[in-house]
Amino acid sequence: MWRNYLTVGLRALAKNKTYAFINIFGLSLGIAACLLILTFVRYEFSYDAWLPGADRAYQVQDFYQPTERGGEEYKLQLTSFVSGTALRKDFPQIERLVYVTRQPIVVMQNGEATAPEDSMYVDGPLFEILQVPFVRGDPRTALNDPNSLVLSETEAKKRFGDANPIGRTLTLVSGDYTADYRVTGVFQDLPKNTHLAMNLVARFDPQTYFAENPNFLTSWNTQGGAVYVKLRPGVDAADLMRQFPAWEKRNIPNETVDGKVENAGDVQDWRLTNIRDIHLGEAQMAATTPGNDKRTVLTFAVIALLILGMACVNFTNLATARASQRAREVALRKVLGATRRQLIVQFVGESMLVAALATLVGLALVELALPGLNAFLDADMQIAYLGTEGLLLPVIVLALLVGLAGGLYPAFYLSRFQPAHVLKANKSAADAQGSGRLRNLLVVAQFAISIGLIICTAIVYAQTIHARTADAGYKREGLLQVAGIATPQAEAVSSTLLQEIRKIPGVTAVGRSTIAVASGNNSMTGVKRPGAVDRVDLGVYGMDPGLTEALGTRLIAGRLFSESQPMDDATTPSPLDMDAERALAARGINVILSESAAKRLGFADAQAAIGQPIQAGLLPDELGLLNATVVGVVGDVRYRTVRDPLQPILYYYQTDRYTQMLVRFAGVSPSAVRDRVEGVWQRLVPDIPFNGRFVDDIVRNLYNADERRAQLFGMFAILAVVIGCLGLFGLAAFTAERRTKEIGIRKVLGARTRDIVRLLVWQFSRPVLIANLIAWPVAWWLMRDWLNGFDVRIALGPTPFVAAGLLALAIAIATIAAHAWRVARTNPVHALRYE
């Protein structure tokens, strides 16, 4: 019996090859897309879950709340050093706490200086918390001793080849800090599904390293590193965090600034975030690796199910459409003794056969597409068929469910035919009845999904292009950004370095600052006008007289800084010299404001701010606010992404301690300028590796994640359209065949070919038009919410909605036009000769 069912099923597929291809290929596309997307979703949720003991490992994250003074909201994966000290002291529930800071590190080896990527200092045995697998050494003791060093496999091989690196010595240079380190361990290269990025981990003493900057160790508003904790067994992180408000009051001292009592805890909240939740967590600022948005990832999961649903709709649609064409076969089977149960089993079995074939093809497509998707996403996703996370059982269940969904209705519908009624009326395939309304509703749902995805793709692409090209207040083209100039070696030759770079052919300007494009640093202070009750928060950064020209920003009013004006110079010695700070407080300085900073301080316009006195928190707290005079107002510069609010800035001038250098060039190739700047650097600062990038590249990389997201949406939109069109093609073929006699009669009565084509095209265009009415408001609501995450965004106009609707309509018409034209040109004699 089963052999007979299989034979009949295969013959039914072979009898109509178009129907079989559309059903199997369309369903396999849906299954493959669903499996690929869900694999990606599972991969995103798998970050750091592979680490042993991950359930007890947490990162302390710092959340700054916006204030009435204009302070910005920050959700940081960093926190202050003192917060870790206080947590260690007050909570015995914490078994281990380690502070991690990513200070610039240069490695001296065999007389050669290199700057390894992803290097860090730690103040304790980090690998007791983050239990990374080791290939050499003991992770529990590798960082127990001062000046111990652990390398990744790749870094160890790069430095020592195949030799055993344990016990070997490397010299680390970081600012004024130089020390010899002994290699005590080598850990396996980290997989890509981790928030960690580390190739070199060195144990250090924070008290020694920050000896010249003691404020770093005691300030609750200085976030220069991450704190990782390991909780004792059975400790609930949520219970611990409920004690944080009281902990803040016990530990954070009040400060009196400008006669007002303030507390750093009033604007900060600390949270414990499990390391498995960091990648998709709320805090993504100052992340060591790019994170992702949990809502976006879940959106992809919904899209996966929608695409699979579309494929199942096609399957069911065509199955129900074709079901009525087998009425005579069912009637004859019943006459020959077949029971209704046997017929149901037969048709459900045929449906499962198609689903099984489609599943096998879908799995093959997944295997073929996965390497390309990994390369596109820079991931290492893998598919396992066996084990606790294997796909074999879910895929089998999926094939059974799809087979049942597509086969149950036709089976019950066909098996109820009465043989006498069917055979007496000589019911043919073309005459059988079917529910067109249900099929139209399903087609509407398919195209609503397709149109929605097309709209989302267009808007995400448009916003990404807008973000990369929007006016940021400076000229991106022809700008080289050089980091690492704050090192003692570079500062010792800073004047010569600037002069030599200015002499390079094509270089038109060179400027230095303590902030640059996507530099990742943030510095804020309170500023007010004399007589004002409250201060406002402004960004505060150093700039030299050449920065404005190098950036290509506008001078709106007043003048720029000048080396010939003593009041412009705010330089004080480092480390802190209180006598020099008091002298500066007695003298005052000149400052420059950005246009938005002048507005935040209440000036009517830029010109009104020139010559006006202000007071800024640029001194140690015990000395109060520093008197300053505004000598210039420059255009706003957006140093961060368009997701972040534009920061109003107060600029001051100093002669040293700059962190970034910007080189403006024109009329020469970018690579030639970079090579010449690097040549000057290597000649004057040979001990520090050159780190120069073009601002164009920096800005482009800022939005890679958004572009990738748009491309993924685009891929899925194309898949959805293809699946929808496959179903539409099958239904059009079925409908055209079913209405052959009707069309013949219409032609006999005088209908022209174009009238017939218009009739059929309109029949299948209506569901697409209705789908627009469903897709537009849903896509508008989703995209409005997404665009609200940007400080600068495109207007949500009608263009992408109309364009997506017209594109879907054009695709639908193109899909069915061939059938409509072929049927309309058929000679009516062939359709009516039986009658």
Q: pLDDT tens digits for 329-343?
A: 666 666 666 676 777
Do residues 105 and 98 touch, judged by C-beta distance below 8 A? no
pLDDT beyond 50 at 786: yes
Whether 258 is in a domain gets the answer: yes
Residue 792's pLDDT band (boundaries 50, 70, 90)? confident
Q: Where is pLDDT greater, at 513 or 748?
A: 513
The per-residue pLDDT for 753 is: 65
End-to-end CA distance of the chain: 39
Residue 115's pLDDT band (boundaries 50, 70, 90)? confident
Residue 456's pLDDT band (boundaries 50, 70, 90)? confident
- Of 637, 665, 693, which one is at a domain's C-terminal end? 665
Give how far Cα 203 sits from Cα of 123, 145, 161, 180, Å.
Answer: 6, 7, 23, 11
Residue 432's pLDDT band (boundaries 50, 70, 90)? very low
Give the C-alpha separation, 640 to 699, whole Å: 9
The per-residue pLDDT for 130 is: 95
Three-state SS string across 240-277, please?
Answer: HHCCHHHHHHHHCCEEEECCEEEEHHHCEEEEEEEHHH
Q: Where is pLDDT greater, at 578 or 324?
A: 578
Give how far Cα 812 sits from Cα of 30, 665, 774, 822, Å.
Answer: 19, 52, 17, 16
Q: What residues contact residue 814 under an 8 Å CB cut-off, 6+ apart?
A: none
pLDDT beyond 90 at 599: yes
- As a whole number, mean pLDDT of residues 225-239 equals 95
User: Does residue 129 share a domain with residue 97?
Assistant: yes
Q: Which of 28-42, 377-391, 798-812 has the lowest mean pLDDT?
A: 377-391
Beta pairing class for 536-542 and 649-652: parallel
Give how far Cα 45 sits from Cα of 30, 203, 673, Å.
Answer: 22, 31, 43
Do residues 525 and 538 touch, judged by C-beta distance below 8 A? yes
Q: Is the pTM of this model over 0.75?
A: yes
Give the C-alpha separation, 94 to 88, whole Å: 7
Residue 434's pLDDT band (boundaries 50, 70, 90)? very low
The per-residue pLDDT for 89 is: 93
| Strand boundaries in 445-582, DSSP class E | 479-483, 507-513, 524-528, 536-542, 555-558
Do residues 137 and 184 touch, judged by C-beta distance below 8 A? yes
The per-residue pLDDT for 429 is: 44
Give the C-alpha separation, 587 to 582, whole Å: 9
What token pair was written down for 411?
Answer: 């089976």
- As a whole number, mean pLDDT of residues 348-366 equals 85
Q: What is the separation of C-alpha 720 from the centre of its chain, rounded to a whole number of angstroms?
A: 23
Please tell me what DSSP assigns to residue 188.
P
CB atoms within 10 A of CB 821: 16
Residue 431's pLDDT band (boundaries 50, 70, 90)? very low
Q: What values do phi and psi take at 633, rounded to 5?
A: -130, 125
Q: Where is pLDDT greater, at 437 or 357?
A: 357
User: Does residue 177 share a domain with residue 74?
Assistant: yes
Whether 210 is in a domain gets the answer: yes
- Of 613, 635, 665, which one is at a domain's C-terminal end? 665
User: Does residue 354 share a domain with residue 217?
Assistant: no
DSSP-derived secondary structure for 141-167 = TTTSSTTEEEEEHHHHHHHHTTS--TT
Instruction: Give pLDDT tens digits for 67-100.
Output: 766 667 888 999 999 999 999 999 999 999 999 9
Please tell me what DSSP assigns to residue 105.
-
Q: Which of 52-61, 456-465, 471-480 has the lowest mean pLDDT?
A: 456-465
The per-residue pLDDT for 240 is: 94
Residue 436's pLDDT band (boundaries 50, 70, 90)? low
Residue 718's pLDDT band (boundaries 50, 70, 90)? confident
User: Does residue 365 share a domain with residue 269?
Assistant: no
User: Does residue 187 share a domain with residue 40?
Assistant: no
* Beta bridge partner(s), residue 225: 79
Q: What values do phi and psi take at 99, rounded to 5?
A: -95, 135
User: Does residue 72 share a domain with residue 41?
Assistant: no
Q: What is the separation of C-alpha 46 from the centre of its chain, rounded to a whole number of angstroms?
A: 16
Whether 139 is in a domain gets the answer: yes
User: Does residue 645 share a domain with residue 522?
Assistant: yes
Beta pairing class for 691-694 and 479-483: antiparallel
- As a whole number, mean pLDDT of residues 395-419 equals 73
pLDDT beyond 50 at 450: yes
User: Does residue 237 share a domain with residue 150?
Assistant: yes
What token pair was written down for 311?
Answer: 């494929």
The per-residue pLDDT for 50 is: 92
The per-residue pLDDT for 824 is: 61
Residue 3's pLDDT band (boundaries 50, 70, 90)? low
Residue 303's pLDDT band (boundaries 50, 70, 90)? confident
* Beta bridge partner(s), residue 152: 187
Three-state SS string across 362-390, please?
Answer: HHHHHHHHHHHHHHHHCCCCCCCCCCCCC
Q: What is the separation of C-alpha 245 from the centre of its chain, rounded to a whole number of angstroms?
A: 32
Three-state SS string across 418-453, please?
Answer: CHHHHHHCCCCCCCCCCCHHHHHHHHHHHHHHHHHH
Residue 594's pLDDT band (boundaries 50, 70, 90)? very high
Q: What is the rounded (10 degree) CA torsion for 515, 518, 519, 521?
A: 80
Whether 712 is in a domain gets the answer: no
CB atoms within 10 A of CB 415: 20
Q: Which residue has the tokens 């990513």?
A: 102
What token pair was written down for 358?
Answer: 């489609």
User: Does residue 327 share a domain with residue 347?
Assistant: yes
* Beta bridge partner(s), residue 185: 150
Q: Which of 121-125, 154-158, 383-387, 602-606 has the lowest mean pLDDT?
A: 383-387
Whether 206 is in a domain gets the answer: yes
Whether 123 is in a domain gets the answer: yes
Q: Exposed/middle/buried for 595, CB within 10 Å: 0-12, 13-18, 19+?
A: buried
User: Does residue 87 share a domain with residue 67?
Assistant: yes
The per-residue pLDDT for 88 is: 94
pLDDT beyond 80 at 390: no
Q: What is the rounded (10 degree) CA torsion for 399, 400, 401, 406?
A: 90
The per-residue pLDDT for 324 is: 59
- Of 642, 665, 688, which one is at a domain's C-terminal end? 665
User: Does residue 605 share a domain with residue 622?
Assistant: yes
User: Does residue 117 share a domain with residue 36?
Assistant: no
The per-residue pLDDT for 834 is: 46
Q: Which domain holds residue 73?
A: 54-277
The per-residue pLDDT for 674 is: 95
Angular region, 230: left φ>0, alpha ψ -120 to 50, beta rest: beta
Number of domains comprising the chain: 3
Instruction: Give pLDDT tens digits for 311-326.
Output: 887 777 776 666 556 6
- As a whole number, mean pLDDT of residues 118-136 equals 94
Counting DSSP H helices and E strands in the chain, the numbers are 27, 27
Residue 426's pLDDT band (boundaries 50, 70, 90)? low
Q: What is the rounded (10 degree) CA torsion for 139, 141, 142, 145?
A: 160
* Beta bridge partner(s), residue 628: 589, 614
Which stretches of 503-647 are DSSP H helices?
547-551, 578-587, 595-600, 606-609
pLDDT beyond 60 at 833: no
Q: What sign does the CA torsion over 740, 746, 750, 751 have?
A: negative
Whether 515 is in a domain gets the answer: yes
Give how far Cα 760 sits from Cα of 94, 324, 722, 733, Å.
Answer: 72, 21, 20, 11
Residue 702's pLDDT band (boundaries 50, 70, 90)? confident
Whether 692 is in a domain gets the answer: no
Mean pLDDT of the chain: 85
